[in-house]
């Protein structure tokens, strides 16, 4: 058998989002990227974003990633 190791830097973005909706506040770096890089109108400071994928350190993240990788490995 051949075993190959790899670092999956975006692993959690491949998993489904947590069961309960998760929202995050928008930080200054994202505000600047939104306006300067994308050239879009400013986002009001009080806005939050819905997270559409699992994120690191979320209690469900490892379980959600395990479901994704298990389905890939079992193919």
pLDDT tens column, 12-50:
777 777 888 889 899 999 999 999 999 999 999 889 999
Confidence class of residue 52 from pLDDT cuts 50, 70 and 90?
A: confident
Assess if residue 2 is contained within a domain.
no
Distance CA 53, CA 42 (A): 24
- The domain in which residue 39 lies consists of 16-74
CA 63 distance to own-chain centroid: 14
Assess if residue 30 is contained within a domain.
yes
pLDDT at 59 over 90: no
Assess if residue 28 is contained within a domain.
yes
Assess if residue 8 is contained within a domain.
no
Q: What is the pTM of this model?
A: 0.56
Distance CA 52, CA 63 (A): 16
Assess if residue 38 is contained within a domain.
yes
C-alpha gyration radius of the chain? 17
Give the pLDDT confidence score for residue 68 in this predicted structure.
Answer: 82
Q: What does the DSSP 8-state code read for residue 54?
A: -
How many domains in the chain? 1
State whether residue 69 is helix, strand or coil: helix
- The token pair that represents 21 in the structure block: 């909706």
Give the pLDDT confidence score for residue 54 in this predicted structure.
Answer: 77
Assess if residue 6 is contained within a domain.
no
Give the pLDDT confidence score for residue 6 in this predicted structure.
Answer: 67
């Amino acid at each position: 058998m051949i075993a190959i190791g790899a670092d999956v830097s975006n692993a959690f973005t491949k998993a489904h989002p947590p069961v309960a909706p998760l929202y995050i506040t928008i930080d200054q770096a994202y505000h600047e990227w939104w306006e300067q890089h994308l050239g879009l109108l400013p986002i009001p400071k009080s806005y939050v974003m819905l997270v559409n994928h699992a994120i690191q350190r979320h209690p469900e993240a490892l379980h959600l990633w395990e479901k994704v990788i298990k389905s890939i490995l079992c193919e």
